[in-house]
Structure 1
Amino acid sequence: MTEAQEQVRRAGPLTYRGSSIPNTTTDQRLLDRRGPSEWVHTDPWRVLRIQSEVVEGFGLLSELPAAVSVFGSARIKPGDRYYDLGVEVGAKLAQAGYATVTGGGPGLMEAANKGAQEAGGLSVGLGIELPFEQSLNEYIDMGMTFRYFFVRKLMFVKYSQAFVVLPGGFGTLDELFEAATLVQTRKVTRFPIVLVGTEFWGGLRDWIRDSLLENELIKKHDMELVQVVDGPEEVVDIIRDSHMDMARRYEESEERPGPEQ
């Protein structure tokens, strides 16, 4: 046995040998303030940060009432027609009894939060740490800023019963197609995805039909996963009808006799 093979250190479930053995112990790195601090930037430590964000997010949102996530651009300013549309959407959702959940930033996220809050509904913002400054907007009743995009997305999916998508860029498209993929693959219970603004989204809908469906990259029924409308009233009607239909089907399945009966 060589000298390297004889050098072994076990730290809990971990085993280190030879030149891989750390110069300090876990306790020493924890307790010695003068010691190296690089360990707080390692992947195992990041796992704890991720775990912390999940726990905090679940804690914040666990008692949230029926909620709808509203996505849209951070770049659209007050006074723009789409900003006004976002305010209307947030207000109509609040009047229908839904909490409004957004990315918590400016632009159309702020618009939806503003509409919800001013209409007496619950306004929630789930922000994200970015290289440039973007604080939570002032129209939020409950909010949290995340380090990790994927944890934030988990919260949107877990605690929302519908997605409403206002005009936006890459971030909005990312959220839209992730939602559509989760519903298509049945990773989540089917819930409505509504794009607001035919003029803005019509071209995307046509491309999906003419390129994806035409080349058999999706099924015909996949076209029904996403609906395009213009008015806030249509948004609420689609969401309500979908939830009533899901509730009816659930009741029917509960009443249906099982194999033992």
Structure 2
Amino acid sequence: MTDPQPAPVTPETPRRGRRQTGPVTLRGHKVPATTTDQRLLEGRQRTDWLHADPWRVMRIQSEFVEGFGTLSELGPAAAVFGSARTLPDDPAYAMGVEVGRLLAEAGYAVITGGGPGAMEAANKGAYEADGTSVGLGIELPFETGLNEYVDLGINFRYFFARKVMFLKYSRGFIVLPGGFGTLDELFEAVTLAQTQKVTEFPVVLMGIAYWQGLIDWLRQTALAGGMIGPADLDRLTLTDDPREAVRVIRSFEESRP
């Protein structure tokens, strides 16, 4: 008499040693000796799991929940970007104060990165005009926290969560002179509009002397080389006039269906 043959492995008869843990399938030596519930309820355990990637996902999720919950009823808002290094006696600082004031008087909340310099200036203008002054701060080793003119603030650990809040809740961007961080925010916004990842919105560059060289390079090098199209440059408005900057934001808003 021959030994019976083992039943074939099929989707209906999973092979021995298989465990399903949520969406993940484990087999053989990959199957842990304990269950998830056992590990959760075990009191004596190491804490290095707090710094593992799956736990970071929970922190990231909490930042999105906090941001959406705080800003969902903000109403019309415009973001103002610019350097944290701008000093109060810099003409760009005065420009930022005026931009914040005019936006608030036009009925917009003003959203900045919440830091010093140009961000503080825009928050100050909105605050002194009795508008809503929002600061979306970021955890950095050299930042000192939200400036004193922020009356609605959120601090983020992750840049990408913070950027989503800027893009989701702003009706347009006004960009004061700034460095790498400002350039990053500027080009990310333009890229997302170009690729239709977000609804197209206006971007105003304030400070002709500061930004003209960049515009010239984009036109004479990037556009001439076919790397961008004419419509990409049309997304950018260059001005020294805070009233013109706010007018661009308002006219785009009024033209939307």
TM-score of the two chains, using structure 2 as the length reference: 0.89
Secondary structure of the structure 1 residue equivalent to 2:78: strand
Taking the TM superposition and a 5 Å limit, the aligned residue runs for 1:45-64 are 45-64=55-74
Is 1:212 matched up with 2:244?
no
Taking the TM superposition and a 5 Å limit, the aligned residue runs for 1:52-201 are 52-201=62-211
Residues 22-31 or 129-138, more deviating? 22-31
**2:29, 2:125 → 1: CA distance?**
60
Amino acid at match of 1:54: F
Contact 1:29 1:36 in 2 (8 A): no
Contact 1:128 1:146 in 2 (8 A): yes
Rg larger for: 2
Secondary structure of the structure 1 residue equivalent to 2:196: coil
Structure 2 unaligned residues grouped into runs of 5+: 1-5, 7-14
**2:35, 2:87 → 1: CA distance?**
53
**1:218, 1:209 → 2: CA distance?**
9
Per-residue deviation, residues 99-141 of structure 1 (Å, max 9, x unmatched): 0000111111111101100011100001111133431111111
Contact 2:115 2:143 in 1 (8 A): no
**1:24, 1:135 → 2: CA distance?**
43
Per-residue deviation, residues 118-172 of structure 1 (Å, max 9, x unmatched): 0111000011111334311111111101111111111100000000000111110
1:19 deviation in Å?
A: 4.0
Give the 3 Å change call, closer, same or farther, for CA 70–94 of structure 1 in structure 2. same
Amino acid at match of 2:74: L
Identity of aligned residues (%): 60
1:174 deviation in Å?
A: 0.5
Secondary structure of the structure 1 residue equivalent to 2:144: coil
Amino acid at match of 2:246: V
1:223 deviation in Å?
A: 1.3
1:68 deviation in Å?
A: 0.2
**1:109, 1:163 → 2: CA distance?**
13
Amino acid at match of 1:224: D
1:30 deviation in Å?
A: 2.4
Secondary structure of the structure 2 residue equivalent to 1:57: helix
Out of 35, 45, 48, the position equivalent to 1:38 is 48
1:43 deviation in Å?
A: 1.9
Out of 22, 31, 48, the position equivalent to 1:12 is 22
Secondary structure of the structure 2 residue equivalent to 1:179: helix
Give the 3 Å change call, closer, same or farther, for CA 22–133 of structure 1 in structure 2. farther
Per-residue deviation, residues 21-73 of structure 1 (Å, max 9, x unmatched): 44554223323342022222222222221111111100000001100000011
RMSD value, Cα = 1.8
**2:143, 2:108 → 1: CA distance?**
29
Query: Which residue does the alignment assign to 1:256?
Result: none
**1:152, 1:193 → 2: CA distance?**
18
Amino acid at match of 2:162: R
Contact 2:83 2:182 in 1 (8 A): yes
**1:64, 1:75 → 2: CA distance?**
28
Contact 2:84 2:119 in 1 (8 A): yes
**1:71, 1:123 → 2: CA distance?**
13
Per-residue deviation, residues 81-100 of structure 1 (Å, max 9, x unmatched): 11111111111111111100
Query: Which residue does the alignment assign to 2:247?
Result: 237
Higher share in helix: 1
Amino acid at match of 1:104: G
Kindly tell me the number of residue pairs found equivalent between the two proteins.
244
